[in-house]
Amino acid sequence: MPKRISTARGREFGAGLRAAIANAGLTSRAVAEILDWDEAKLSDVVNGKGGTTQLEVAALLGVCRARAAESAHLLSLHPETHVRGWWQQHGTCAPIRLRTLAENLAVAESLTSWHTHMVPLFLQTADYMREVLLASSTVPAAELHDRVKAQLAMQELLRGGKQCTYFIHELALHLHVGGAEVHAGQLLHLLLMAKWANTTIRIVPAALGAHPGLAGPFARLTFAKYAPLVWVDTENSSLLSEENDAITGYDKVIRALDEKSLDEADSKALIVRLYDAICPAEDEAARRRSVC
């Protein structure tokens, strides 16, 4: 069955309107009556099918007493709900919670992630995550706790059977983030995650040299009802690619990484060797029971 025509902007707009109605404690029927709309019209609006002016959307948000910042955000999306691709500029650094990414992760069927220089966010331990944030030159120290909490919540969105495949360059595993204890804990966490039925971890060996993923990290999401999208993060912006040609290009990179990466067993063996290099000998028996 063909995927429904949908965009990340349109989904966020519709989800925002539905949340505004729910937060107001109103039913769709009550909102429609207040606005003198047919319920069908309201349904079309919150499901991204259009049919309203910006003034009508403002009236809807007013009825729901939505906060000013949220109203401004949704009104800015209204004329662009049909636009594919989205470059989000965050200012000095990314927000504590990446709303668009979280909302798409929540409804995704699968995730394919590629990372070159560090363990991907979705596989990081809290200690590793904290060290990454502490090393940042743009993240305010006062936000550290809230950012770790938000990122751990992001990981929870991938629970429940979503198929996740992670391609990671070997050098990311050699990078010491934090002390030996944090490093060892992160490697052990990777080994434990690799045991999950819905999680695949593949390592691109450093010995390969130049490889298909040199352009940088990205995450590809697929959905049951919508076309795929690719998410790319930078220091202070996020890019969502939705155009067919762009997705085709990233799919080629994924296929090439699949061909060049170690298989699951060899990837696990590499992580074990790195762990062995820093794991105390007396812990060996316990470690092997936990990861084998």
Give the per-residue pLDDT at 232: 97
Record the tokens describing residue 67, joined without a space.
């906060």
Give the per-residue pLDDT at 257: 98
Q: In degrees rounded to 5, what are phi and psi of residue 213? A: -105, 20
Give the per-residue pLDDT at 282: 55
Q: How confident is the model at residue 288 (pLDDT cuts 50, 70, 90)?
A: low
Q: How confident is the model at residue 285 (pLDDT cuts 50, 70, 90)?
A: low
Give the per-residue pLDDT at 273: 94
Give the per-residue pLDDT at 94: 93
pLDDT in tens, 198-257: 999 999 999 999 999 999 999 999 999 999 999 999 999 999 999 999 999 999 999 999
Q: In degrees rounded to 5, what are phi and psi of residue 89? A: -95, 125
Give the per-residue pLDDT at 238: 96
Nearest by Cα to 160 from 120, 198, 124, 113 = 198
Nearest by Cα to 37 from 60, 14, 55 = 60
Give the per-residue pLDDT at 116: 96
Question: May I ask the CATH architecture of the domain 86-291?
Answer: 2-Layer Sandwich (3.30)
Each domain of the chain, given as residue ranges in start order, spans 8-80, 86-291
Give the per-residue pLDDT at 78: 93
Give the per-residue pLDDT at 6: 86
Give the per-residue pLDDT at 49: 76
pLDDT in tens, 139-188: 999 999 999 999 999 999 998 889 999 999 999 999 999 999 999 999 99
Give the per-residue pLDDT at 284: 56
Give me the count of residues in the chain: 292
Q: Is 63 exposed, middle or buried (0-12, 13-18, 19+ CB in 10 A)?
A: middle
Kindly report the CATH number that applies to the domain delimited by 8-80: 1.10.260.40
Q: For the packed helices 54-63 and 68-77, what is the interaxial angle rounded to 10 degrees?
A: 150
Give the per-residue pLDDT at 51: 79
Give the per-residue pLDDT at 283: 57
pLDDT over threshold 80, residue 23: yes
pLDDT in tens, 34-89: 999 999 999 988 887 777 899 999 999 999 999 999 999 999 999 999 999 999 99
Give the per-residue pLDDT at 292: 42
Per-residue three-class SS string for the chain: CCCECCCHHHHHHHHHHHHHHHHCCCCHHHHHHHHCCCHHHHHHHHCCCCCCCHHHHHHHHHHCCCCHHHHHHHHHHHHHCCCCCEEEECCCCCCCCCHHHHHHHHHEEEEEEEECCCCCHHHCCHHHHHHHHHHCCCCCHHHHHHHHHHHHHHHHCCCCCCEEEEEEEHHHHHCCCCCHHHHHHHHHHHHHHCCCCCEEEEEECHHHCCCCCCCCCEEEEEECCECCEEEEECCCEEEEECCHHHHHHHHHHHHHHHHHCCCHHHHHHHHHHHHHCCCCHHHHHHHHHHHC
- 222-230, long-range: CB < 8 A, 24+ apart: 222/108, 222/109, 222/110, 223/3, 223/104, 223/107, 223/108, 223/109, 224/107, 224/109, 225/3, 225/4, 225/6, 226/3, 226/4, 226/6, 226/11, 227/3, 227/6, 229/8, 229/104
pTM over 0.85: yes
Contact 42, 29 (CB under 8 A): no
Mean pLDDT of the chain, nearest integer: 92
pLDDT over threshold 80, residue 287: no
